[in-house]
Chains A and B, each alone.
Chain A
């Protein structure tokens, strides 16, 4: 079974430029998460989708970050404009989303963003 797929794996941009990350979750997983992870820290949730609905986006900086999950499958996270402090690893994860054990999250390889 294929895991969570993310692209690109690495991205280097100059500040004020836009950037987009793409995620394809595990087949059949209804819940999709976008996390930000800084060095030496645990993942921090940016947004969580249940199917195509964003059910928790309280930590998403909405002035510059946006996300969408069309048809409840793939998702895109966008930053416009990027700032130096956005340099981090952006992780996508998915889970079945039903019941306690099914909330186990499986992570993609992440996108390492460097803003110069």
Chain B
């Protein structure tokens, strides 16, 4: 069973702090990894994807990938109350075409 594991939270951080969200995956064949943000009652929206080991930065967001440890993380700098949402990690298909697996998500609360 291919799995993506996330701490369900809630993770609570003060406004302006760095929020760190973590994710592990079980299938070493996974090649691409995605972070989605989902507000309550809304559909997931893509924040960023990563498929190379190391860091990838996009504005206040940094994704980190370590394939040897099968670990993906998302850092949110200068957290804002508007960042309060559930963050879904997903492990995407390799060229073999297996399906994208989503984690259950981590709930983040940013306190003003």
Contacts and interface: CB of A to CB of B under 8 A. Distances in A.
Interface string B1-27: 000100010000000000000000000
Contacts of A91: 43-44
B65 interface: no
Given A40-B8, A56-B99, 12 more contacts: A40-B105, A41-B105, A42-B90, A43-B102, A45-B100, A100-B51, A101-B49, A105-B46, A107-B43, A107-B44, A108-B43, A110-B43
A106 interface: yes
A24 to B, nearest CB: 15
Given A42-B88, A42-B104, A91-B43, A101 B99 contact: no
3 smallest beta-carbon distances between A and B, as pairs: A42-B102, A107-B43, A110-B43
Nearest to B88: A42
A101 B51 contact: yes
B92 A103 contact: yes
Contact of B34 (A40, A56, A104, A110): A104
Nearest to A41: B104
* Interface residues of chain B: helix, strand, loop or mixed (majority): loop
| Chain B interface size range | 20 to 34
Contacts of B45: 107
Nearest to B97: A55
A104 B46 contact: yes
A106 B42 contact: no
Interface of B: 4, 8, 31-32, 34, 36, 42-46, 49, 51, 88, 90, 92-93, 95, 97, 99-100, 102-105
Contacts of A48: 99
25 contacts: A42-B88, A42-B102, A42-B104, A42-B105, A43-B102, A44-B102, A45-B100, A48-B99, A55-B97, A89-B43, A91-B43, A91-B44, A100-B32, A100-B51, A100-B92, A100-B95, A101-B32, A101-B49, A103-B32, A103-B92, A103-B93, A104-B34, A107-B36, A107-B43, A108-B43
